[in-house]
Amino acid sequence: MSRARKKKGRAVSGWVILDKPKDLGSTEAVSKIKWLFGAQKAGHAGTLDPLASGMLPIALGDATKTVPYVMEGRKVYRFAVTWGAERTTDDMEGEITERSDIRPERDAIEALLDGYRGTIEQVPPSFSAVRIGGERAYDMAREGESVTVPSRVVEIHRLDLVECPDADTAVFEAECGKGTYVRALARDFGRDLGCFGHVSDLRRTSVAPFDEDVMVPLADLTALAETETDEERFAALDARLVDTGEALAALPHVAIGDGEARRLRLGNPVLLRGRGAPVAEPEAYATSGGRLVAIGEVAGGEFLPRRVFGG
| pLDDT, tens digit, 9 for 90 and up, residues 180-216 | 999 999 999 999 999 999 999 999 999 999 999 999 9
Burial class (CB in 10 A: 0-12, 13-18, 19+), 209: middle
Cα 50 from Cα 178, distance rounded (Å): 19
Alpha-carbon distance 180 to 230, whole Å? 41
pLDDT of 311 > 70? The answer is no
- Asked whether residue 2 carries a pLDDT value surpassing 60, the answer given is no
The domain limits of the chain are: 14-72+210-244, 75-205, 251-308
Q: What percent of the chain has pLDDT over 90?
A: 78
Give the mean pLDDT of the chain: 91
Q: What is the pLDDT of residue 6?
A: 62
Q: What is the pLDDT of residue 162?
A: 98
Query: 49 an active-site residue?
Result: yes
* pLDDT, position 243: 94
Helix (H, G, I), strand (E, B) or coil at 184: helix
What distance in Å separates the CA atoms of residue 135 and residue 157, rounded to the nearest whole number?
30
The 8-class DSSP code of residue 25 comes to -
Strand bridging mode 291-299 / 281-288? antiparallel
pLDDT band at 139 (very low <50, low <70, confident <90, very high): low
Taking only the tens place, the pLDDT of each residue in 256-282 is: 999 999 999 999 999 998 777 888 999
pLDDT at 19 over 80: yes
Cα-based distances in Å from 68 to 71, 84, 190, 208:
5, 38, 33, 12
Q: For residue 193, what are the contacts with CB-CB under 8 A and spacing of at least 6?
A: 83, 102, 104, 108, 109, 112
d(CA 69, CA 76): 16
The CATH number assigned to the domain with range 251-308 reads: 2.30.130.10
- Is-same-fold flag (14-72+210-244; 75-205)? yes
CATH architecture of 14-72+210-244: 2-Layer Sandwich (3.30)
Asked if the model's pLDDT at residue 133 lies above 60, the reply is: no
**Active-site position among 19, 23, 49, 211:** 49
Where does the pLDDT of residue 131 fall: very low under 50, low under 70, confident under 90, or very high at 90 and above? Answer: low
Q: Which pLDDT belongs to residue 128?
A: 59
* 75-205: CATH superfamily: Pseudouridine synthase (3.30.2350.10)
Q: Is residue 247 within 8 Å of residue 281, measured between CB atoms?
A: no
Predicted confidence band of residue 149 (pLDDT cuts 50, 70, 90): confident
**What is the mean pLDDT of the segment spanning 111-136?**
81
pLDDT over 50 (residue 1): no
Given a contact cutoff of 8 angstroms between Cβ atoms, the answer to whether 10 and 39 are in contact is yes
